[in-house]
Each structure stands twice: as C-alpha cells, then as structure tokens.
C-alpha cells in the first residue's frame, strides 16, 4: 500500500511539473500603449470625444487628458455625467482600430459612489449604425479612490468609434464618473494578410491575398454567417507576392464569407479583411446540348460501370422540363432548357450536361385510327424475329414481338427497334386518331 501511495504522490508531482511547464511556455499576449492621444479638447489633437452628458466643469474630454485627479475635485480632470446612475462616454479614432483592451481609472474622490458598477464596452458598426457589445460587466466590486483596472476581451473587428456605456454606478444616487479611459490593441507576431479578394465560380470560390513577410502558412476561415468564420484549411509551402486558394465543393446559390490569417513561428496574425462570394453556375449562351423530344428518355453515365451512377447525386435545374433519377436516367417532360448535374459524396467531383427538350409540331409518322394495325420490320421480314420492339407509350399504341403495331388511344408515340445487343436501330412515330 505504501508503494502505491508513493507512486501516486510521484505521479501527482510529475503532473504538476508538466502543468507548470506547459503554462510557462504559453504565449504571452502583448498589447500596444494607449492609442488615444492626450486630449486638450473634444477634438484636439485628433479624434473626437463625445458623451451623453457632462457637468459644467468636468468635461467629457477630461477622461482622455492623461491627468489624474486628486483627492478633491478642485482640479476638474475627470468626466462626470450630468445624470444619476448612468452615462456613456466615447472616443472616435481617425481610422479604424481593433481594440482588445481598455483601462479604467476612477477619480481620486467619490469613487465609492460614482465609479461604474454595470457597463458594456462597445464598438459602433458603420454598416448597421448600431453599437456592438464587445465586453460586459455587472456587479463590479467597489473601487478605491484613484484605482485603475484593466479589461481584455477577444475582438477581431475594426471600429472607428468605441464607448463605455455605464448602466449603473456604485451608488445609484450618484452621477457616473471616470478619471481616465485608455484603449489598446493586441500586438500580433505577424501582419494580417491584406487585399483579400474572392471570385465566385461554379461550386467554388477563388481567394487571393498579398503575402505576409515571415509567414510560413495561412489559415483559411469560412462561414455562411458574416463575422463567424471558422478554420477550414491550412495552406502551406506558399511563395511569391500573391497567394491564391480555390475552395471547391461549395453549394451554388449559398453565400460564403472568408477571412485569412497568416501563421509564423511565433503564432497567428489577426484576421484579414472579410470577403463574400456566392457560387453560381451560369450556362454560356452557346453551349453543346443534348436534344430530347418530349417523353424521350436517355441514360447518362460517368464510367463504364452504370453502378457508379448510384454513388452520385443527380439533379435537374428545372424538373418541369426534364427529370433525372438516382441512376442517371433523364426523362424529357416539356419543351425548354435544363441542366443535369451529378456530384459525388464529398463534392470533389462535379459535372453537368445541358439538355434541350423539343416538341416537334411536324413529325412524320404512321397515321392510324384506334383499332387499326400496321407491321414494322428491319431489313426484310426474315429479320423481324431478331429485333426487340419497344412501345414508348403502350396506352397509345402497342407492338408485338414481331413488329405488329396496334393503335389503342389518341396521341403521338413512337416504336423503337433494338438489335440483339440492345442497341437502338431506329424508331418510327405512330399518330393515333379516333
């Protein structure tokens, strides 16, 4: 038992070493200095400060003047809202920033009441005109006078304007106040890929972007929802000033969103700009087509073995014109154009054939009245027994194994002759009248 206990203790000791070692090698996240300049007014030296309110002497831009307040409010270096229990304060950069950290310093006086308790940190979307919540805090512990606290969060979206939106102060009867508000970006080991662009094609999207110095590979990220891209593939062994990647097996008509990250020996870059593509098949104006007559059927194949057809998904772009079954057999229904497409299970193989269905108003045919008959043959009558006769629509006309046709109901159909190998020799149309 003692040996077992000693072994367990040793194992725990080793595990703790591994844990400590693993933690010690974790990459430390680094941030820039405060990106907001020392403000001397709401717009100087750059950017723009705004707030929902401020009192007569403790202006909104005081929260960005980099001057700490004293134990009294005589130097007026903090922002104080003009209403109790809430208020928002914002700064707009001259160009978009990807803020991932902010620091709040509360005033050197009245922190027990005026310091924020509940708030959100937000970025303004220029596309929607709405504020996007990036970080949220509720029931923040009480602050000491002049205390500074830092907050970090994951963000890969660039905004020009950010704000802290205070919805409750430490004392609901006090006005909101902040002495200093700082904002920082994450420092990444590599620059983000630039000039990402995309060209949509048939069931695919071609991405291209500028190479990043020091990158050994690139992570491609994709989603059908903007801003929610996830990793799909790593592209390595790339060279040159421009990188391309073709994403295949996509669903035509679906919009895909993409971003790219550069990868180097010290980690990933931030995301590139986002692009979107909607793959679509567009048939050229002049294209080779299979011509079928209404009610005609034709078998398609992808190999010498028709069983291979069952491993693909077959679709018709317009099933009112022609349908295709799971075995690749096409049936023409009415005049018009359609495209028959086949795709294998993983989407790596896609092919199609264009079909034109016609209904000939003038069709040379044998004219029979209901009940009348006629005789068909191939060559001389001696060959009639060597032919297989097939009626396309037996409800209109039937045919015997010797080629005798009998009119049954009004309509137009055809009789097909097959040789001993099952190959079509020819066909004759039969028009039946009352």
pLDDT digits (tens, 9 = 90+) for 214-225: 999 999 999 999
Q: Domain tally for the chain?
A: 4
Most confident of 70-79, 95-104, 363-372: 95-104
The Cα-based distances of 121 to 65, 221, 353 in angstroms read 20, 26, 55
Query: Which residue, 359, 340, 360, 358, is CA-closest to 350?
Result: 340
* Range from 33-37, 54-58, 221-225, 360-364 carrying the lowest mean pLDDT: 360-364
- Is residue 306 located within the same domain as residue 391? no
What pLDDT, on a 0 to 100 scale, did the predictor assign at position 155? 92
* Range from 9-18, 48-57, 360-369 carrying the lowest mean pLDDT: 9-18
pTM beyond 0.95: the answer is no
**Whether pLDDT at 167 is above 70:** yes
What pLDDT, on a 0 to 100 scale, did the predictor assign at position 22? 34
Token pair for 404:
């005798």
Classify residue 20: in a domain, yes or no.
no
C-alpha torsion angle, residues 89, 92, 96, 102 (rounded to 10): -30
β 424-433/366-369 pair status: parallel
For the chain, helix (H) and strand (E) counts, in that order, are 2, 33
Strand partners, 306: none
- Is residue 210 located within the same domain as residue 265? yes
Listed in order, strand segments (DSSP E) in 18-115 are 30-31, 48-51, 79-84, 87-97, 99-105
What pLDDT, on a 0 to 100 scale, did the predictor assign at position 5? 44
- Is residue 353 located within the same domain as residue 417? no
What's the average model confidence in pLDDT over 188-202?
A: 92
Classify residue 283: in a domain, yes or no.
no
CATH code for the domain in which residue 331 is found: 2.60.40.1080
Query: Which residue, 353, 358, 359, 378, is CA-closest to 299?
Result: 353
What pLDDT, on a 0 to 100 scale, did the predictor assign at position 237? 63
**Whether pLDDT at 79 is above 80:** yes
Residues with Cβ within 8 Å of 325's Cβ and at least 6 positions away in sequence, in order, are: 314, 331
What pLDDT, on a 0 to 100 scale, did the predictor assign at position 386? 76
Could you say which of 233, 257, 277 is where a domain stops?
277
What pLDDT, on a 0 to 100 scale, did the predictor assign at position 381? 62
Q: Which domain holds residue 225?
A: 194-277
Could you say which of 185, 202, 229 is where a domain stops?
185
> 238 pLDDT band (50/70/90 cuts)?
low
Classify residue 3: in a domain, yes or no.
no
- Is residue 111 located within the same domain as residue 169? yes
Whether the Cβ atoms of residue 411 and residue 359 lie closer than 8 Å to each other: no
- Is residue 96 located within the same domain as residue 134? yes
* Range from 101-110, 118-127, 319-328, 373-382 carrying the lowest mean pLDDT: 373-382
């Amino acid at each position: 038992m003692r040996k077992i206990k000693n072994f367990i203790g040793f194992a725990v000791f080793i595990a703790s070493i591994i844990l400590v070692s693993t933690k010690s090698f974790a990459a430390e996240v680094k941030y820039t200095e405060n990106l907001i300049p020392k403000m001397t007014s709401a717009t100087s030296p750059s950017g723009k400060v705004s707030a929902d309110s401020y009192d007569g002497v403790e202006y909104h831009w005081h929260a960005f003047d980099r001057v700490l307040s004293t134990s009294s409010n005589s130097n007026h270096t903090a922002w104080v809202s003009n209403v109790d229990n809430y208020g928002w304060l914002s700064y707009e950069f001259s160009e978009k920033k990807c803020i991932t950290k902010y620091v709040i310093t509360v005033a050197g006086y009245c922190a027990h009441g005026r310091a924020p308790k509940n708030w959100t940190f937000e970025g303004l979307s220029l596309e929607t005109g709405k504020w996007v919540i990036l970080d949220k805090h509720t029931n923040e512990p009480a602050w000491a006078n002049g205390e500074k606290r830092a907050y970090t969060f994951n963000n890969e979206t660039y905004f020009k304007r950010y704000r802290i939106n205070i919805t409750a102060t430490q004392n609901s009867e006090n006005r909101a106040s902040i002495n200093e508000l700082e904002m920082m970006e994450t420092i990444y080991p590599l620059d983000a890929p630039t000039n990402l662009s995309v060209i949509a094609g048939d069931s695919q999207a071609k991405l291209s972007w500028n190479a990043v110095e020091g990158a050994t590979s690139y992570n491609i990220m994709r989603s059908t929802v903007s801003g929610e891209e996830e990793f799909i593939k790593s592209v390595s062994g790339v060279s040159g000033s421009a990188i391309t990647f073709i994403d295949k097996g996509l669903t035509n008509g679906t919009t895909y969103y993409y971003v790219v990250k550069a990868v180097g020996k010290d980690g990933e870059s931030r995301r590139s700009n986002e692009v979107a593509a909607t793959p679509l098949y567009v048939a050229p104006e002049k294209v080779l087509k299979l011509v079928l007559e209404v009610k005609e059927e034709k078998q398609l194949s992808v190999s010498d073995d028709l069983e291979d057809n069952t491993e693909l998904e077959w679709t018709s772009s317009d099933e009112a014109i022609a349908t295709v079954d799971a075995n690749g057999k096409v049936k023409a229904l009415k005049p018009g154009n359609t495209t028959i497409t086949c795709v294998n299970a993983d989407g790596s193989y896609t092919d199609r054939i264009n079909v034109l269905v016609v209904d000939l108003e003038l069709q040379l045919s044998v004219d029979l009245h209901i009940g009348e008959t006629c005789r068909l043959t191939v060559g001389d009558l001696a060959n009639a027994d060597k032919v297989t006769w097939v009626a396309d629509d037996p409800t209109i006309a039937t045919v015997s194994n010797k080629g005798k046709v009998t009119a049954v109901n009004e309509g137009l159909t055809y009789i097909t002759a097959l040789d001993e190998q099952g190959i079509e020799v020819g066909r004759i149309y039969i028009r039946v009248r009352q």
